[in-house]
């Protein structure tokens, strides 16, 4: 299914392309599945979305005006693999797990996507204003977000940490934020990682240790460069993204394991009638096997869910 994209990135983002290339490759997700191509090289060639077809009973869940228009506006954060990235440059179509799953859902629903690239932190507020009908960008389901956003889940990802290869300050999986005391952590703007680090910043003081510092970046490539140049000590980001990054030799990073699991879902403004339709479409993909094939393609089979849920409680 052909998608329409409106590019919102300017010259600053183009300057980061060499940096983003460092994060755009990985081997599998630790489960023996397919490798992901680097930016500037081909993405996996199999196309599990091609065989997906419209399911009338699921499409009937869409509001009548959406069925008549036949299009949905998607705010899409194209930040890096395996979720969404540019394997062949920003003048070509994006690829990744989020891209394939959104396209597959659209085929089940019998609609066309108008995909608009947007920075991660701007998408959820734009849903409330009506700019987008749905948001994608590996959005984790949190208690705070559930106050204003509805979710239809599609994978189970979460939070993890990575350091520069050879860094011995953190030698093992991070299980408690006090292990980060005295360090500088880089993370993405508007993310659950930033929220977690900000909310718990007092843990070091309570433990009688030097506080950790948080530096926020709008691009994954900038975060990685800061790590490589020693301006930060550790990255906090998605489990799947950090695994892919660490599997690429050029990134020179070591993944420190899972810290906190989160359901990830398509995002909608509160009360959107689209939520049930997307949930049903994801469950249709799970039932017919297309879902498993898409996750296998992107090396994320370990993040598979058994069924899509609407607004599940945040993992504790």
User: 187-214 pLDDT, tens per residue?
Assistant: 998 888 999 999 999 999 999 999 999 9
Cis peptide, bond prior to residue 82, ω within 30 of zero = yes
**pLDDT tens figures, 52-70:** 999 999 999 999 999 999 9
**pLDDT tens figures, 116-134:** 999 888 999 999 999 999 9
- Cα distances from 80 to residues 44, 167, 219, 242, 310, in angstroms, run 15, 24, 9, 10, 26
Q: Could you write out the DSSP letters of every residue in 92-154?
A: S--BSHHHHHHHHHHHHHT-EEEEEE--HHHHHHHHHHTS-SEEES--B--TTGGGTEEEEEE
pLDDT at residue number 100: 98
Residue 172: band (very low, low, confident or very high) from pLDDT cuts 50, 70, 90: confident
Least confident of 28-32, 86-90, 216-220: 28-32
| Cross-strand pairs, 214 | 185
Interstrand relation of 71-76 and 112-117 (parallel, antiparallel or unpaired) = parallel
Sheet with 253-269, strands from edge to edge, namely: 4-6, 112-117, 71-76, 134-136, 253-269, 149-164, 234-238, 184-188, 213-217
> What phi-psi label fits residue 280: left (phi over 0), alpha (psi between -120 and 50 degrees) or beta?
alpha
Question: pLDDT at residue 29 above 60?
Answer: no
pLDDT at residue number 248: 83
Residue 136: band (very low, low, confident or very high) from pLDDT cuts 50, 70, 90: very high
pLDDT at residue number 6: 41
Q: Which residue has the higher pLDDT, 81 or 28?
A: 81
Least confident of 22-26, 78-82, 105-109, 179-183: 22-26
Across the chain, mean pLDDT equals 86
- 187, containing H or E segment: strand 184-188
Residue 21: band (very low, low, confident or very high) from pLDDT cuts 50, 70, 90: very low
Cβ neighbours around 229 below 10 Å, total = 9
pLDDT at residue number 32: 27
pLDDT at residue number 7: 37
Whether the model pTM is above 0.75: yes
Torsion of CA 29, 31, 33, 38, to 10 degrees: 20
Q: Which residue has the higher pLDDT, 190 or 41?
A: 190
**Average of per-residue pLDDT across 214-218:** 93
Q: Which residue has the higher pLDDT, 77 or 41?
A: 77
Q: What percent of the chain has pLDDT over 70?
A: 87
Cβ contact 312:141 at 8 Å: yes
As a whole number of angstroms, the distance between CA 218 and CA 189 comes to: 5
Question: pLDDT at residue 79 above 60?
Answer: yes
Cβ neighbours around 306 below 10 Å, total = 8
| Cross-strand pairs, 85 | 95
Question: pLDDT at residue 143 above 50?
Answer: yes
Q: What are the backbone angles phi and psi of residue 95, rounded to the nearest 5°?
A: -140, 165
Least confident of 36-50, 152-166, 214-228: 36-50
Q: What are the backbone angles phi and psi of residue 67, rounded to the nearest 5°?
A: -60, -40
Q: Which residue has the higher pLDDT, 37 or 153?
A: 153
Residue 31's SS3 state is: coil
As a whole number of angstroms, the distance between CA 300 and CA 152 comes to: 18
Token pair 């009506």 in the structure block, residue: 130
Token pair 């499409």 in the structure block, residue: 59
Question: pLDDT at residue 276 above 60?
Answer: yes
Residue 168: band (very low, low, confident or very high) from pLDDT cuts 50, 70, 90: confident
Q: Classify residue 73 by burial, with Cβ atoms within 10 Å: 0-12, 13-18, 19+.
A: middle
**pLDDT tens figures, 242-267:** 998 888 888 899 999 899 899 999 99
Nearest C-alpha neighbor of 162 from the set 46, 265, 253, 79: 253
**Average of per-residue pLDDT across 21-41:** 32
pLDDT at residue number 141: 95
């Amino acid at each position: 299914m052909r998608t329409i994209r409106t590019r919102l990135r300017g010259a600053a983002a183009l300057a980061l392309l060499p940096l983003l290339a460092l994060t755009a490759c990985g081997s599998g997700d630790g489960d023996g599945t397919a490798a992901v191509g680097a930016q500037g090289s081909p993405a996996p060639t199999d196309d599990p979305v091609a065989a997906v077809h419209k399911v009338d009973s699921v499409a009937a869940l869409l509001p009548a005006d959406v069925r008549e228009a036949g299009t949905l506006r998607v705010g899409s954060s194209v930040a890096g693999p395996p979720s969404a990235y540019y394997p062949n440059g920003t003048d070509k179509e994006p690829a990744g797990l989020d891209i394939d799953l959104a396209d597959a859902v659209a085929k089940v629903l019998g609609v066309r996507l108008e995909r608009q690239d947007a920075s991660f932190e701007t998408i959820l507020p734009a849903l409330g204003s009506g700019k987008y009908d749905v948001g994608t960008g590996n959005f984790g389901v949190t208690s705070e977000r559930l106050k204003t956003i509805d979710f239809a889940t599609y994978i189970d990802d979460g939070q993890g940490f990575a350091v520069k290869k050879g860094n011995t300050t953190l030698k093992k999986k991070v299980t408690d934020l006090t292990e980060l005391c005295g360090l500088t952590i880089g993370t993405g703007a508007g993310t659950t990682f930033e929220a977690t680090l900000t909310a718990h910043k007092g843990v070091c003081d309570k433990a009688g240790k030097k506080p950790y510092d948080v530096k926020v970046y709008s691009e994954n490539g900038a975060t990685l460069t800061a790590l490589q140049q020693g301006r930060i000590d550790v990255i906090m980001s998605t489990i799947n993204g950090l695994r892919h990054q660490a599997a690429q030799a050029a990134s020179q990073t070591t993944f420190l394991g899972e810290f906190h699991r989160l359901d990830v879902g398509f995002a909608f403004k509160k009360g959107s009638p689209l939520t049930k339709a997307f949930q049903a479409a994801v469950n249709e993909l799970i039932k017919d096997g297309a879902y498993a094939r898409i996750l296998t393609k992107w090396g994320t089979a370990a993040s598979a869910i058994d069924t899509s849920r609407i607004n599940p409680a945040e993992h504790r």
